Structure 1
Amino acid sequence: MKMVRSAFTDENFLKYLDTFTKLDFLTVGLMLGQPTDAKDYIIHFTRTPPYRGGGENSPKKFTDLPDVWIADHARHVTRMLPGGMYVLGLFIVSQEDIFSSTCISKLKTILSQVHKKLNANTFLYGTPNGCEKLVLHYSPSSRYVCKNYNYETASLSNAEIKFQSSLAVKWLQIECKYELDQIFPIIVEKANWPLKKHMNEILQLLNTNLQTAVYFFDGEIKDSNECLETIGKKQKSQLRLAQNDDENKLMQVTIVLPIGSNSSSEVEILNSGGQIRLAGHVASKVWLYPKATVQYASAAIMQDIVRSLAARLEMHWDSLIEEEHGSPEDTNSVHETPRRVLVNLPTTKVTLSDYLFPGEGSQEAQISLSELLDIKVLEPDSILDVEGQPDMPELCTEGVEGDCDDILPSTTNKKIYIAGLGFAFVVLIISLLIHFIKG
């Protein structure tokens, strides 16, 4: 007999859902959290922004819900989640029974669109290993009913959500600084690729390297099946720390990347059409349930780094009117991607991310947090700018002129791209050098 899927969350979200019952139109939103083998932890409920400005344009019937709009909201929110956290499912507040025969087809269409959107960019890690989503229906008359949707069988089964006075999870906080200073050569056959295609190829390489890397927890290699909670207790006993049990545990993780999968000493000579250089470091912070293993934590750190880079690059491509292409003259172009800021959720110490473009500050973050997460941030100081603005002139000088101009003939056509992801904590420098070899 298959066990019923269970999820736990804070009872304050019942009050949140109840506020939408007073509206004359239905409300749909996302449930965010961390899945485990035994149960799921929902850390936040967020309403999907009203379609086309809301008001009279808001759909009043479940079958009129814009599925692509909901799916796009799921993609935007996934960018903001730390590694190990996902969009666990949907909630719908309405008088209609969304599990009835008249609504079930529309529900499956919405869930399919969400699944498709979250898997469109594999580097966002939008879907956990399981192919399931929770669906919560809340109404004034019947209160709430929860179901579990299985994508493989396209079927719904019973599930339960328990609203507790206090979500009894002592989240473990893990921090990591991922340092990067690497040059990626571009072979002549790929020299005319657009920058986006180059960066997707590099993301794939970084993703593979992080999957095969060695992760040190507080300076030590731990057994992959060891529980994080056990590690924390051992360290507390050894160091005799007078730490309150209710405080969030903090671990530092160091990543050691493999030298390369090819151990051969042979050197292969290729015709280079340019190079891309990435330099700096990425700040990562994830929050895990106490029973999480070292293997789970390593995967969450890896996901957080790749997801953060992929999110920034996606936002950067979307912001460009058009991508620059080769020209007969030397050109220097600066591509500065958004930087990461952190904000605490109202009911937990878990932090989510927002990304600010150059020149943007806490006011812009307050707007996007309100729209995408339905969070009202009243104090700008509660938005933690963990990366800061990069010193672009200095980066251009060190990362481009010193590395490139002295090694290229003056007659060579070249194009240089630089992208800064913050300077204090994260710097991503991309210098793309393209020259054409005449036969």
Structure 2
Amino acid sequence: MVKSVIGDENQLKLVEDRLTRSAVPSQIGLVIGKLNSKLDRGFVYDLVPTPPNDAGEQPCSVIDGAGAVSKSKKKVPSKAKSQSESSSLFIDHDWVFEHARQVSRMLLGGMKVVGIYIWVSESLFKNSTITLCQTVIGVEQAASTMMDDVNERLLLHISYSPLRWTCRNCSLSANNTSGSLWPSDFKTGKILGSLQTFRCMHNFDLRLPIPRDDGSDIKIFSDALRNEIMVCAKELKGVKALIDGKLVAGDDLSLSDGFHEVDFLLPFMQDKYLEACNQKEVLGVLLLRGSVCSLSYLNSKEPVSQALVDIKEDIIRSLLSRLDIMCDEAERDVESVTGGDQGANSLSSEECIANFDLQAQRKQCSLSFPRRVFVPWLEGAYICDYIQSKETLEVLKDHCVELMSVEFPTDSSEILEPESEAPAVTASTGKTFWNVATDHSSPVDPRTSVSKTRKTGNGRPAKTADFVVLFAIFFLLVAVVVFNITGKM
């Protein structure tokens, strides 16, 4: 259990000033930070307010005893103590959860949505602990990660009467359906300025066979791809790594402050998919190729091994986020077409590919993942966002301002674009499995970047393999002839 929490004093001071200048009786938002179970310590980097919903309504409001919404904390009658005690707190849970889901996509390694904060009076907070605990649980489910081993989140209360900060730890049950609140020691200090930065460019070439109908639940393209990404997560979990060219063995490696390069020592491909399938059982193959640029941040109190855990999680989280973005876009496109009474043929292949049936598909389909870019955030740290192949950097502005309450840079050179080409995926069912599984130069849709994507597998083209086989046979024949001549002499 996290026993103590440290917040960045500069950022929290800015938040406090902003809230005290406001006239709102309540505000809810997300806590961005990190929880380390090994250190029993939590870190809070910033508090991000949840924006108004699409109708312009605030996600959090105070309802007095008469059922009216309080517009200002200054309008509470002095003689209405009993009415104040009967006031309740309304929270638009779905909107707060959606905010948490989208913000979690924009955070890099070592930074997560670790809870919520609430700006209300002391009495109203005491009357709303059940509602707030349910909100914390929902936020955890919306922003959860597959490699997170911490089953607790933070509830940060900022009271304006009197002005003070208190932190509570919400310990979650095994199935994340209930939780209990415990007080945590909360203090401030300088955190963001002392973070170490780790960068990794991870290259991959994954191939998943598309089987005939065998009763498997994984038939839809997006489900198969999600399953393949989780296979990648398992492979990454146990690999060794180099930091600044030095092998990491435990936590003995000493590092200087600042920036560090990470390289994973991946095992050679063993063609395990080829060994498990044969041509009669397989219709085609799903190929996922590309490079993911990952950034991660480490506190000075944390061990070096934690940086590798954060980098690995960030890589997988980035791939899953891109897949979710594609599925969300496809769903919106289908709804817009349906609402316009247009035919399904008006959708492009990239819009339909997320939901097509792999076993029913009889042609090759290709598309690019959204590309990851990095936007300046706080004291040298970055957040990320994703842009589609036809989008420009202008689409990032609204996301950063609305979701993260961060000022978007006026100079585009401050935005980092290390992924010159996005990861790409190809579903090939028009060829036999063996041709596709060994072909690194199969034709693709020219509108995508698959043909240009960096290839890191050890498979060789079919022509090269045939030449090697013929050369081996020729060499064997020559050896037999020489042996016979030598024997006769």
TM-score (norm 2): 0.70
Q: Hey, what does 2:377 align to over in structure 1?
A: 345
Matched, 1:19 2:18: yes
1:300-320, Cα deviation, whole Å (9 max, x unpaired): 111010000000001111110
- Structure with max Cα Rg: 2
Find the aligned partners of 2:371 and 2:62 in 1 and give their Cα distance: 38
**Is 1:206 the equivalent of 2:232?**
yes
Partner of 2:50: 48
Measured after TM superposition, the shift of residue 196 of structure 1 is 0.8
| Larger relative contact order (Cα-Cα within 8 Å, sequence gap ≥ 6) | 1
Consecutive unaligned residues of structure 1, counting only runs of 5 or more, are 233-247, 409-414, 430-439
- CA distance, structure 2, for counterparts of residue 31 and residue 424 of structure 1: 40
Change (3 A) 1:97 1:280: same
Give the share of equivalent positions with the same residue, in percent: 21
SS of structure 2 residue aligned to 1:109: helix
The CA distance in 2 between the partners of 1:297 and 1:53, in whole Å, is 41
**Counterpart code for 1:218:** D
Q: 1:401 to 1:225 in 2, by over 3 A?
A: same
Q: Residue in 2 aligned with 1:138?
A: 158
Deviations 1:12-54 (A, max 9, x none): 4233233234233421111111223153222221111113443
- Distance in structure 1 (CA, Å) of the matches to 2:213 and 2:430: 26
SS at match of 2:325: helix
Q: Supply the distance in 2 between the matched residues of 1:56 and 1:180 (Cα, whole angstroms).
A: 43
- Over aligned residues, Cα RMSD in angstroms? 3.8
**1:235-288 CA-partner distances (Å, limit 9, x unpaired):** xxxxxxxxxxxxx5222111122357999xx95553212101122221111111
Larger deviation, residues 143-152 vs 304-313: 143-152
Alignment of 1:114 with 2:147, yes or no, is: no
Q: After superposition, give the CA deviation of every residue in 1:356-382 in whole Å (9 maximum; x if it has no partner).
A: 122222221111011111112141423
* Whole-angstrom distance in 2 between the partners of 1:220 and 1:87: 32
1:306 and 1:56 map into 2 onto residues whose CA distance is 33
Aligned counterparts of 1:306 and 1:391: Cα–Cα separation in 2: 13
Q: Which residue of 2 aligns with 1:90?
A: 116
Cα distance in 2, alignment partners of residues 206 and 200 from structure 1: 10
Aligned length in residues:
391
| Change in CA separation of 1:269 and 1:74 when aligned onto 2, cut-off 3 Å | closer
2:293 aligned with 1:294, yes or no? no
SS in 2 for 1:206: helix
Name the residue aligned to 2:250.
Answer: 224
- Which residue pairs with 2:408 in the alignment? 377
Contact conserved, 1:135 with 1:146, CA < 8 A, in 2? yes
TM-score of the two chains, using structure 1 as the length reference:
0.77
Deviation at 1:65, TM superposition (A): 0.5
Q: Assess, with a 3 A threshold, how the Cα gap between structure 1 residues 42 and 423 changes in structure 2: closer, same or farther.
A: farther
Measured in 1, the distance between the counterparts of 2:375 and 2:219 equals: 37
* C-alpha distance in structure 2 between counterparts of 1:134 and 1:24, whole Å: 23
1:257 maps to which of 266, 269, 283: 266
Deviation at 1:203, TM superposition (A): 1.1
Provide closer, same or farther for how the CA distance between residues 420 and 370 of structure 1 changes in structure 2, counting only shifts above 3 A: farther
CA-to-partner distance for each residue in 1:127-171, whole Å, 9 max, x for gaps?
x4222222111132222222222113832222233234x437522
Gaps of 5+ in 2: 64-87, 335-351, 437-442, 458-489
Q: 1:326 to 1:167 in 2, by over 3 A?
A: closer
Distance 2:6 2:446 in 1: 44
